[in-house]
Amino acid sequence: MLSVRIDDRVRLASSVMLLTKHFGDLQSWALQHPLRIATKKFLAEFKDHPCVRFFDEIAQHYFMNTIYQLALLCTPPPRIEWKNKGSPPIDRNNPLGKKVLAFFPTLMSEFFEDTGISSLWEQRREEWEATVAQCKTILSSCNLAGWLRDFYGEPQLDLILVPNPTDPCSFGFGPTLGNEIYAILGPLCRPKKEEFSNDDFFNDPTYVMVMAFHEFSHGILGKILSANKKLIKDTEHLSTRNKLKGYFPKFYSTWESQLTEILIRACTALFISDREGESTAIEFLEEEKKKYGIFLVDDIYSGLKYYNNKRKAEPAMKLSDYLPILFASLSKKEIKGCRFFDLFYTYKNP
């Protein structure tokens, strides 16, 4: 099931981040949606609010995805509190972790009350609802929920997309809370050529489809890989095939995070191939290699392409069953005399 909705916890957290110093340099990445302009103007006098200063402190140690996950672990405003104090994804043994646990909901509540931001949300309600309607139309047109369900072989998915044009940057975030898999969708990227002048999601439906696929995949693949830590450990030698550059080694400093991200980008290429043709998918992969040095993505894409074709003929196939076969082949551990494309058959019919 896939739902698209506004979430007050998400837009409140992003409104605070709009005022922080730490995320200020990210704002040039995105087009200026009218809701974002209106929010910054409305909150201009609250740049020194204790909640803003606290978010700046958090941002020195955690990325935006963690802040959104913290917000989603709280009850919605006006009464913001932890749903379960045992769940926040922070290190409780350091001073900042203890402060987050103690003060995050309280400061969010104070910011909500002190700024009166709910009045702005009400004034611009039609614009917020328009972003939901746009995303619903776009995702329905590509049957994203069905594609994710069939490709990953996971029938019970609770997918929640939150369009968030006030986000400080123009990409998405994919927090997962239990069975709920979120995709928080920031505003469109600033185009290389000024083909459009506003941040209406209809101006770039491919961005919505691909970003939603990417972020939902974080949650789905995260569950699959977390259940198979040995697979991650056994594939670490594959990291030598990459020549990481750009923001990739900074944002994804562990092999687990690198493997997850490369897998997701290969899966995304398959989704693009189904939607727009393989030549477009190859262009996407070439750009990823050029910008980030993730050369392993080609081999993973080839293996996943085989899986994708096979699972269309055998709907019971699941990606979680196939990944060990894929990585065995990449590690040159194939059965003697067995071609790569026979591996899955051998696995299922020993």
The closest alpha carbon to 52, from 21, 96, 91, belongs to 21
Domain range summary for the chain, segments of one domain joined by +: 2-203, 228-348
Structure confidence by residue, pLDDT tens digits, 166-221? 887 767 788 888 888 999 998 877 655 555 455 678 788 888 999 999 999 999 99
State how far the alpha carbon of 343 is from the alpha carbons of 59, 91, 333, in Å. 45, 42, 11
Answer yes or no: are the C-beta atoms of 174 and 215 closer than 8 Å: yes
Say what the pTM is: 0.87
Q: Which amino acid is at 335?
A: I
Q: Which amino acid is at 263?
A: L
Helix (H, G, I), strand (E, B) or coil at 162: strand
- pLDDT value for 203: 80
CA–CA gap between residue 178 and residue 152 (Å, rounded): 18
User: Which residues lie across from 158 on neighbouring strands?
Assistant: 180
Answer yes or no: are the C-beta atoms of 166 and 18 closer than 8 Å: yes
- HSE on the CB side for 94, CA within 13 Å? 7
CA–CA gap between residue 18 and residue 113 (Å, rounded): 17
Answer yes or no: are the C-beta atoms of 161 and 11 closer than 8 Å: no
Burial of 123 (0-12, 13-18, 19+ CB in 10 A): exposed
- Residue 53's contacts (CB-CB under 8 Å, 6 or more residues apart) are none
CA–CA gap between residue 350 and residue 345 (Å, rounded): 8
Burial of 17 (0-12, 13-18, 19+ CB in 10 A): buried
- pLDDT value for 104: 94
The closest alpha carbon to 130, from 182, 165, 168, 169, belongs to 165
Alpha-helical (H) ranges within 43-197 are 50-59, 64-72, 95-115, 117-123, 125-141, 144-152
Could you count the other beta carbons within 10 Å of the beta carbon of residue 155? Answer: 8
- pLDDT value for 149: 92
Structure confidence by residue, pLDDT tens digits, 36-64? 889 999 999 999 999 999 999 998 888 88
Tokens of 321: 């069953």
Which stretches of the chain drop beneath a pLDDT of 70? 24-30, 85-90, 170, 190-199, 332-350
Could you count the other beta carbons within 10 Å of the beta carbon of residue 3? Answer: 12
- pLDDT value for 345: 43
